[in-house]
Amino acid sequence: MEESLFETKIGSKLHYYKRGSGPIMIVAPPAWGLSSLYLQEGLVPLEQSFTLIYLEFRANGKSTRPNASEMTCWHLADDIEYLRQELQLETIPVLLGHSGGGTIALWYAIRYPDKVDRLVLLNHRLDGFDDGESLKKSIIEKKKDPKMHAPLKAWTSSWHDLSDEKFASVIRLFLPVYFWNPDASVQSKELNGLQTVPLWNYQLLRGNDQKDQHQEQELGKVSAKTFMIFCQADPVCTPTQGIATQEGIAGSKLVIYEQCGHFPWIEKGEETFRDITEFCNL
């Protein structure tokens, strides 16, 4: 594994990891504080066929913290462009984003349509999309499982005044909510071992201070070949958002896994890696 820190043209610094061999696949994690380590743990099978570049967005890992006004998913797409330039790529062969990282990757494909060939979105959040009804239905369904009661209580608690360490502990408590089978949550050592998560990042990107731009009306600008995976038991990035995205991107492909939550490579690993690899090799 290689680890690098480079300076962008605006003087900020960005951090990334390089693993695997084959065509380059840039991996975009959420920028609200998890870093890319859980993806480095989970996406190892892809490293047999691709060189994965795991980007740490601004204010994550060793990357520079920006002004709060520049901590939006729209702005964060520029970090992918800085990385493309650093790697001296004419275009990005494959850009993969998970969850909020998918939101950023999608903004990149909207803003820089001629700079990405293939776009892979795993349970992405569609910026500015109202998915409240699907969220309510998901919570009602999860309440039927007694194992979900304590995680749901932690998930719906207030996080606004927590320390970074306490915020991490709350995430560990509500992690099962993100799975179809709550027992599957223990399979990620990285997520279960979180010790500190910057609340500053979360408040700007997902909390009350977030400033969403609306992606739905911009989707027609995407020219990259696009493939999406969504999961029926994901309470935050529901399939409704995938359906809306597919309707907006001409020729895009969407698959929805049953009995699977927010981390498809954990609960549907065989299908996830097969489908991504087949799409990238078309």
CA gap 104, 96 in Å, rounded? 10
Domains of the chain: 2-132+212-280 (3.40.50.1820)
Could you tell me where the beta strands, DSSP code E, fall in the chain?
Answer: 2-7, 13-20, 24-28, 51-56, 92-98, 116-122, 225-231, 253-257
The structure tokens listed for 246 are 């597919």
Among 10, 112, 12, smallest CA distance to 55 is for 12
- For the chain, the straight-line distance linking the first and the last C-alpha, in angstroms and rounded, comes to 28
pLDDT at 206: 83
Question: How many angstroms from the chain centroid is the CA of residue 35?
Answer: 10
Mean pLDDT by 10 residues, the chain (282 residues): 94 97 97 96 97 98 96 97 98 98 98 98 95 90 95 90 95 97 96 96 83 90 98 96 98 98 98 98 80
57: amino acid identity, one letter: F
The structure tokens listed for 15 are 């951090």
136: amino acid identity, one letter: K
CA gap 122, 135 in Å, rounded? 18
Q: Supply the pTM of this predicted model.
A: 0.97
pLDDT at 26: 98
